[in-house]
Amino acid sequence: MGIHTLDARRLFCPMPVIRAQNRIKTLAKGDILEVTCTDPGAKNDVPAWCRINGHEVVSIETEDDEIIIKIAVGGK
Amino acid sequence: MNRQPRAVALISGGLDSMLAVKVLLEQGVHVEGINFYTGFCVEGHTHAIRKKDQKQEKRNNALWVAEQLGIKLHIIDVIEEYKAVLTNPKHGYGANLNPCLDCKSFMVKKAREWIDENEFDFIITGEVIGQRPMSQRKDTMPIIAQESGADERLLRPLCAKLLPPTLPEREGWIEREKLYDFNGRSRKPQMALAAQFGFDDYAQPAGGCCFLTDQSYSAKLGDLWQQRGSKNYELDDIMLLKVGRHIRPSENFKVIIGREEGENNFMNGYRKQFTHMRATSHQGPLALIDGNVSSDDLKLAAQLVARYSQGRDAAEVQIEVNEIGNETPFTLDVIPLHNDDIPQAWFI
């Protein structure tokens, strides 16, 4: 199990979702992806994408203007 | 076929594609959604930029629809490929810079490539004959099937009964009799079917979900192309067309003036790429200068920026100017332009 990071700052939805989706394609089940975003819309869109595609949002943290979404990669 | 038939659906986030998917799910087809991001999609960006919209609950309608239907959704970035569609549309533009027919053919073509790569059997869309003046007409719908290469693998469940049978119908993967014959601009049949399926919440985009159908946006894009002498653009260009007042006092430059705090914050991210200015003696917006400017041009731009500051009625306003390539800002003391001094033709 690996921990990976994705910088999606300054991108507006749906780009953070697209970047997360494309990165997750390269990861294995159980891997963790930490996505850092600045678009508040990502707080809704990334979890929605995870729910419908079988991945789990482990946590969503906000630091200043940055949102860090931690995703556990599910079966694909 | 020995297995469950598999279809990919073009999901815009509107009601029609939602219904089209539901019709196929009811017939036991495995459906996954696909949504293409061209850079011109209305959703997301502007809502995220504008401060007044930031308190509203935001949702991406394509994702929301997929979740309501219980299907997967694949969002595909087609920004680069879409440039060729927009800048050189074989079938021309609609009322504005919307290349709807070429756009739909392109998206169905991308979906065809996707089903080939992912071993799916056919494509569905929420198209309805007569619903849209360019891409959803009885004479243009076969063009989309043909030019995309999808041919008889393209099924429109909401109006299929008015069109020749497609592969999934002929092969018996689905029952044609359980498809629909919707026709025209009325939304009543769709709303009735939505009620039948128990859908009581769905997006109703006015005029579509694409900035290219917007007259004001298209005017700004046309101006950008004209000034560049070619129809090229980058994502940052088309993003900046979504924010601010765009005022062109002269052929060689335009001024982009933020209209509110969210836009100012968004434009602030571009300050290293543009000469920019802001009032220091009064509250006021951030302005980006796009083009090569003389000192007289800068003074005129500063007077414009002063006009949109809280000092618009003051005798003089101090404007701080940050020029590209010059780390030290300087100040201009200017008299704000009066409304009567700003010709309407300057507004793009």
B44 touches A at CB < 8 Å: yes
Q: Which residues of B touch A48 (CB under 8 A)?
A: 59-60, 63-64, 67
Mean pLDDT of B343-347: 95
Count of pairs with CB atoms under 8 A, one residue in A, one in B? 71
Q: Of these residues, A13, A20, A24, A33, which one is catalytic?
A: A13
Residue B67's contacts (CB-CB under 8 Å, 6 or more residues apart) are A48, A51, A52
Closest CA to A69 of A14, A17, A10: A17
Is the pLDDT score of B216 beyond 60?
Answer: yes
Q: What is the pLDDT of residue B207?
A: 46
Q: What is the mean pLDDT of residues B260-276?
A: 91
The pLDDT value given to residue B47: 54
Q: Mean pLDDT, to the nearest integer, of B104-126?
A: 97
pLDDT at B127 over 90: yes
Active site residue A37: no
Calculate mean pLDDT across residues B286-310.
Answer: 96
How close does chain A come to B250, measured CA to CA in Å?
A: 31
Domain residue extents for chain B: 6-211, 244-346
Helix, strand, coil % in chain B, rounded to nearest 5:
40, 20, 40
What is the average per-residue pLDDT within B243-272? 93
Q: Are B261 and B53 in contact (CB under 8 A)?
A: no
Q: How confident is the model at residue B55 (pLDDT cuts 50, 70, 90)?
A: low
Q: What is the mean pLDDT of chain B?
A: 91
Which of B47, B63, B239 has the CB atom closest to A49's CB atom? B63
Instruction: Give the pLDDT of residue B73.
Output: 96
Rg (CA), chain A: 11
Q: In the predicted model, is pLDDT for residue A58 greater than 90?
A: yes
More confident position, B41 or B227: B227
- The runs of H, that is alpha helices, within chain B are 15-26, 45-49, 61-69, 79-87, 100-118, 141-148, 167-170, 188-197, 215-228, 235-240, 261-268, 295-307
A51/B67 Cβ within 8 A: yes
Q: Are strands B253-257 and B275-279 parallel, antiparallel or unpaired?
A: unpaired
What the block records as the tokens of B152 is: 């008889």
Q: What is the pLDDT of residues B141-154, one digit of tens each?
A: 899 999 999 999 99
- Shortest CA distance to B283 belongs to which of B255, B254, B317? B317
Whether the predicted pLDDT of B41 surpasses 90: no
Task: Point out the residue among A17, A40, A53 whose CB comes nearest to the CB of B72.
Answer: A53
Q: What percent of chain B stands above pLDDT 90? A: 79
Residue among A13, A40, A52 whose CB faces B54 most closely: A40
Q: Please provide the size of chain A in residues.
A: 76
pLDDT at B58: 66
Structural domain harbouring A50: 3-72
Predicted TM-score of the model (pTM): 0.90
Residue owning tokens 């219904």: B19
pLDDT value of residue B306: 97
**CA distances in angstroms from B119 to A16, A40, A45, B3, B80, listed in the order given:** 27, 36, 27, 12, 25
Name which of B129, B226, B140 is nearest B181 in CA terms.
B129
Domain count for chain A: 1
Q: What ipTM was assigned to the predicted interfaces of this complex? A: 0.92
Residue B205 has pLDDT above 60, yes or no: no
Residue by residue, DSSP assigns B291-316 as E---HHHHHHHHHHHHHTSTTTTSS-
End-to-end CA distance of chain A: 15
Strand order in the sheet with B275-279: B245-250, B253-257, B287-291, B275-279, B317-322, B330-334
Q: Say if the Cβ atoms of B71 and A52 lie within 8 Å.
A: yes
Q: Examine the pLDDT at B250 and tell me if it is beyond 90.
A: yes
What's A67's domain CATH number?
A: 3.30.110.40
Residue B162 — very low, low, confident or very high, per pLDDT cuts 50/70/90? very high
Please report how the helices B141-148 and B100-118 are oriented relative to each other, as an axis angle in degrees rounded to 10.
40
**B-chain residues near A52 (CB < 8 A):** 63, 66-67, 70-73
Between CA B145 and CA B157 the distance in angstroms is 14
Predicted confidence at residue B206, as pLDDT, reads: 44
Q: What is the dihedral of CA B200, B204, B209, B214, to 10 degrees?
A: -170
- Indicate the pLDDT class of residue B256, thresholds 50, 70 and 90: very high
- A14, A39, A48 member nearest B64 (Cβ): A48
Contacts of B35 in chain A (CB under 8 A): 14
Q: What is the rounded radius of gyration, in angstroms, for the C-alpha atoms of chain B?
A: 24
Between CA B288 and CA A46 the distance in angstroms is 32
Q: Which of A15-24, A25-34, B76-85, B208-217 has the lowest mean pLDDT?
A: B208-217
**How close does chain B come to A29, measured CA to CA in Å?**
17
Beta carbons of A15 and B77 less than 8 Å apart: yes
Which tokens go with B191? 């709303």
- Domain B6-211 grouped into CATH 3.90.45.10: no
Going from the C-alpha of B161 to that of each of B126, B140, B183, B280, the distances in angstroms are: 14, 17, 10, 66
For residues A8 and B12, which has the higher predicted lDDT (pLDDT)? Answer: A8
Question: Distance between CA B323 and CA B196 in Å, rounded?
Answer: 61
